[in-house]
Chain A
């Protein structure tokens, strides 16, 4: 590629500014949207990742019945109606010779349909749960005010409650209230508020701010009864690297408790770890990103067709010029090079502008997602744009190069 070709091509582009600008706009929109939409997909993946991280990467959850992602789905399997997670399971799992890689665990004993009331305000507690003190550290719950349920509360079957911010807002009017010591009635039993949980935000996927937590012992006394099982057990492993070991320890301990083999255990209970959630969310956000990228790639293709269209017009318009160039000694490759360079320059310039547009566009929040630019998408989109210029430029350029000089000169 010689420098002269580039100069001649630049003159050609500058000779028809509006048309060149519109052609470049097509490529620019294509490249820009590939970068931006992949960044949006990537951004939503990053935010999901962050919220999973905030749950703790060493967290494990044991569901009664088939799990969220396991066979049968949560509470949909035939086994799910039976009591499968009991106080005995919790005791066995607490023994370090059964599960040496577990550092903490807590049952989650939930009762749906409980209505809370305070001073005339009522609130349906969607997530009213009886837990152990260790629950706070396992689930990464932070307190905004007051304190969490203590071992003494658990032993005393104390009627104390820790509220999420949504509960506070519904019962006390303002989410920023700190009603420590207030009395709240949960379906006939009065509890004292001892702590308020920090808001985890709306993007958190599991424990939302609608929680109300009480000691597990109190829960059994007043709501679910001692004979009932737990709906979940949450646990944390000693470190993020021992999650898988902890998971198999839980599975084998519970399987022997319940007289099951590890292969039939999946109908009885399901153990999920954060890594299961991560891989599930990664694959779904990956699909999302690919879909967005594909839509944007189509617009890049359309931009490429625009390049070809304009190059065909240019070649026709400049047929006489091609004839002159051939008459004074231009070879076929000279003409081919000139128009090919022009087509590639159009798409390269459009691509550079598109990268700029994509980067600027990514600084704005789009449908609630902060886009995160994936470096590969920049190179991919730009490289694709250059290839498109080359591909869609070859036909018009070749058409120009193969014109017979006399025909080109005579063209009106």
Chain B
């Protein structure tokens, strides 16, 4: 199916240092901004009606930032997340990932980007049914062209141990609680060692105890130098982030930095405009 050459290329790409620390990256040739969204719009045709999900978004995220995107349902936050995650393409405007315009990429290149650079965590976990936790976590490595079964298993076990599920390797999704399933999904997102972790309402289906556990994991991911972007409508979840972006009707209405995390332009926080 896949040529050995491209598998080799993928393997070589992955072993290359994916991310230097945020401080060191300034010295490198690659741009410091890992995500640049420029004047992006997205329009869906819903029957005869055109739905404007995004109406000109501009957003820059630096390497190592911890960003929360909040907004009411229908504000376009999921659409923005899908575009950032290379699952969808903008109708107009440009999206640069690591300085490269995704519009210029082929479908297979986008698959490779999703595989290597981005770890996606969904609200509904999205594990493959009837497949053990270990096999679910192994899957990105399979698509990443790692041929050695032992290496895949070893890395998958390590990722699962990192989220505290080292003893649930052979459990199938339906044998795990919601919090455990979401941790499997995070392990799957992390197993290829991506520099960006995207989470679309990761705590939406979890109880408060599981939510705290999960947010601790995201904190650790941020501390290890990864760029973390999560969508939420819960204030306590957004409170963990160092930068909160608020969307309404497909536009950014506020962009609020905290704790002196200093990069990118800032719009002053608009108090009292939190989620109803």
Measured CB to CB, the residues of A under 8 A from B are 1-2, 4-5, 11, 15, 320-321, 323-334, 336-337, 404-406, 409
Q: A321 with B129: in contact, given A326-B111, A333-B1, A406-B87 (CB under 8 Å)? A: yes
Q: In the complex the two chains form, what is the Cα distance from A145 to B207 in whole Å?
A: 100
Size bracket of the B interface: 20 to 34
Q: In the complex the two chains form, what is the Cα distance from A256 to B8 in whole Å?
A: 86
B130 engages A325 (CB within 8 Å)? no
Query: Could you tell me the distance in whole angstroms from the C-beta of A324 to the nearest C-beta in chain B?
Result: 5
Residue of B nearest to A402 (CB): B107
A330 engages B111 (CB within 8 Å)? yes
Q: A332 with B128: in contact, given A325-B143, A406-B87 (CB under 8 Å)? A: no
A327 engages B128 (CB within 8 Å)? no
Residue of B nearest to A12 (CB): B130
Q: Determine which of A1, A11, A15, A329 lies in contact with B114 in the assembled complex, contact meaning CB atoms within 8 Å.
A: A329
Among A4, A320, A330, chain B packs the most CB atoms within 10 A around the CB of A4
B88 engages A333 (CB within 8 Å)? no
Q: List 10 A-B contacts (CB under 8 A).
A: A5-B1, A325-B139, A328-B114, A328-B139, A328-B140, A329-B111, A329-B114, A329-B116, A332-B108, A333-B108
Chain B residues with CB under 8 Å of A320's CB are 126
B130 engages A329 (CB within 8 Å)? no
Chain A residues with CB under 8 Å of B88's CB are 404-406
Q: In the complex the two chains form, what is the Cα distance from A310 to B244 in whole Å?
A: 48
Number of A-B contacts (CB under 8 A): 74
Q: Determine which of B107, B126, B142 lies in contact with A324 in the assembled complex, contact meaning CB atoms within 8 Å.
A: B126
B131 engages A334 (CB within 8 Å)? no
Q: Determine which of A15, A333, A406 lies in contact with B2 in the assembled complex, contact meaning CB atoms within 8 Å.
A: A333
A327 engages B126 (CB within 8 Å)? yes
Query: Could you tell me the distance in whole angstroms from the C-beta of A293 to the nearest C-beta in chain B?
Result: 34
Q: A324 with B87: in contact, given A329-B192, A330-B143 (CB under 8 Å)? A: no
Which 6 A-B pairs give the minimum distances between C-beta atoms?
Answer: A329-B115, A329-B143, A406-B88, A337-B1, A331-B111, A328-B140
Query: Could you tell me the distance in whole angstroms from the C-beta of A3 to the nearest C-beta in chain B?
Result: 9
Q: Determine which of A4, A15, A327, A332 lies in contact with B87 in the assembled complex, contact meaning CB atoms within 8 Å.
A: A327
B120 engages A328 (CB within 8 Å)? yes
- B234 CB–A CB distance under 8 Å: no
Q: In the complex the two chains form, what is the Cα distance from A93 to B77 in whole Å?
A: 106
- B112 CB–A CB distance under 8 Å: yes
Q: In the complex the two chains form, what is the Cα distance from A243 to B205 in whole Å?
A: 91
A11 engages B130 (CB within 8 Å)? yes
Chain B residues with CB under 8 Å of A323's CB are 126
Q: Determine which of A327, A331, A337 lies in contact with B120 in the assembled complex, contact meaning CB atoms within 8 Å.
A: A327
Q: In the complex the two chains form, what is the Cα distance from A406 to B107 in whole Å?
A: 13
Q: Determine which of B1, B120, B189 lies in contact with A334 in the assembled complex, contact meaning CB atoms within 8 Å.
A: B1
Residue of B nearest to A14 (CB): B130
**Cβ proximity bits B119-135 to A, threshold 8 Å, 1 near / 0 not:** 01010001111110000
CB neighbors of A among B90-108 (8 A)? 107-108
Chain A residues with CB under 8 Å of B87's CB are 326-327, 405-406, 409
Q: A332 with B107: in contact, given A11-B131, A327-B126, A409-B126 (CB under 8 Å)? A: yes
- B226 CB–A CB distance under 8 Å: no
Chain A residues with CB under 8 Å of B144's CB are 329
A328 engages B1 (CB within 8 Å)? no
Q: Determine which of A321, A331, A333 lies in contact with B128 in the assembled complex, contact meaning CB atoms within 8 Å.
A: A321
Residue of B nearest to A320 (CB): B126
B114 engages A327 (CB within 8 Å)? yes
| 4 extra A-B contacts, CB within 8 A, seeds A324-B126, A327-B87, A336-B1 | A5-B1, A330-B143, A406-B82, A409-B87
- B183 CB–A CB distance under 8 Å: no
A329 engages B140 (CB within 8 Å)? yes
Query: Could you tell me the distance in whole angstroms from the C-beta of A315 to the nearest C-beta in chain B?
Result: 15
Chain B residues with CB under 8 Å of A337's CB are 1
Q: In the complex the two chains form, what is the Cα distance from A324 to B122 in whole Å?
A: 10
B143 engages A15 (CB within 8 Å)? no
- B202 CB–A CB distance under 8 Å: no
